[in-house]
Each structure stands twice: as C-alpha cells, then as structure tokens.
Amino acid sequence: MRGRLILIEGLDRSGKSTQAENLALALDAQLYKFPDRSTPIGKLINEYLVNSSFDLSDEAAHLLFSANRWEVAHEMEATLIRGQNIVLDRYIYSGIAYSLAKSSLNDYEWLYSPDKGLPKPDLTLFLTIDLEELSRRKGWGDERYEKSAFQAKVKQCFMQILDPEKDSSVEIVNVDNLSIEQVKAKLMEIIKERKVDQPTEKPLAKFK
C-alpha cells in the first residue's frame, strides 16, 4: 500500500500555501513546496523571482523550475512507497501555466516534456479566485510575477491545462469570499469523497 499524492495549485496569493499546510497537518502528510528555494537550483530560482534585474531567458527559467522538481522526485517516490501521504504546494502545472502566459513561450509540448516521468498526483485541487481580491492581499507585488495583467493570463492558462472533463483527477475549487477554515472544509470534503485520504494499492502514475 502506498501513500497518496495530493496537489494544491493556484495563482500567487490565492491561499494555496496556507491550505497545503493545513491539509498536510490534517492528513499527516509530508509537505513539498515548489519551487523549493533551499536547494542549489532553488536558490537560483529565488534570486530570479525576487530580483527583477536578474537576467535569465524564459526558456532557461522554465527548465530551472523543472529541474527543481526533479531534485526531489526520487525522495517523493520513496516517501509514497513507505505509505506516507504527500501534499504538494505547486507542481508541474504551475511551471507550464506561468511559462505559457509569457508571449515568448507557446509550445505546450516543449514546456511539458522536461517533466515527463515525474509522479502524477492522485488528486489536483486548483483554487480559483477573483483577481481583484488577489491584488488586495498582503504581500501582493513583492515578486516578479505578481502583476494583475500577468496573473490574469496565468489563470487563463491554468484553465486550459487543468480540464476535469479530460482528467478526472482534477478539481476546480472556487474560493471567492471564503474564510481559511471554509476553504479547508471544502477541500477535505472533496478528499474524503474521493477517498484519497486512504492508502492505495494502485501503482503510482507518472506524467507521460
């Protein structure tokens, strides 16, 4: 029996990190945040995100984010095989959506290919929220991508690549005007309904 892999995705300041932490506690799961800014590659990514003068091509940035996920891929698999649940705060969908939102990158297959072979979540929860509400949240604008026009493009890209009709493991969750506790309750209800709070004998799927 292996543990479950649950992913929380969303725009910047959407509350996904708070909810990922809440779910990890509720499910006794290990939490992984991407980008992981503590690794050698993650430190480069952090500099890119917080320093607008840090010069990096869009292609190079995309590959760095993917490499950052691969840094811990084998560790994640070993954790799941031990029967431990994992909650992810961002993953490959963020990498693709944020890159697609840039005018210079529009080849989906190229953007997707570096992540082929990574573990695929049992459940992906995308938190969708009104963009005006995002811009009023504390800390908005501190990092490179936190601009309303760009986040609007990112949201559109997320909705293109996360289609519940094509991938039954995806849930779109509207969190407009909901408190932290209300969002947590909503997410836990989905998790319990889908029984992804319980270990499974199903083999771990990979992105193909």
Query: Using 50, 70 and 90 to split pLDDT, how confident is the model at 144?
Result: low
- Tell me the mean pLDDT in the region 8-31: 94
pLDDT, position 131:
76
Q: In 3D, which of 207, 201, 205, 206 has the Cα closest to residue 2?
A: 201
Reported as a single tens digit per residue, the pLDDT across 81-100 is 999 999 999 999 999 999 99
Alpha-carbon distance of 22 to 52, in angstroms, equals: 32
Going by the DSSP 8-state scheme, the letter that residue 11 receives in this structure is S
pLDDT, position 137:
56
- Tell me the mean pLDDT in the region 128-142: 66
In 38-143, at which residue ranges do the beta strands (DSSP E only) sit?
A: 86-89, 123-128
Please state the length of the chain.
208
pLDDT, position 3:
98
Reported as a single tens digit per residue, the pLDDT across 167-186 is 999 999 999 889 999 999 99
Q: Taking the chain, what is the end-to-end CA distance rounded to the nearest angstrom?
A: 23
pLDDT, position 130:
84
pLDDT, position 94:
96
Amino acid type, 36: D
Q: Do 83 and 1 touch, CB atoms closer than 8 A? A: yes
pLDDT, position 133:
67
pLDDT, position 105:
83
> How many Cα atoms within 13 Å fall on the side-chain side of residue 24?
16
pLDDT, position 135:
60
Reported as a single tens digit per residue, the pLDDT across 114-127 is 999 999 999 999 99
Q: In 3D, which of 152, 150, 145 has the Cα closest to residue 131?
A: 152
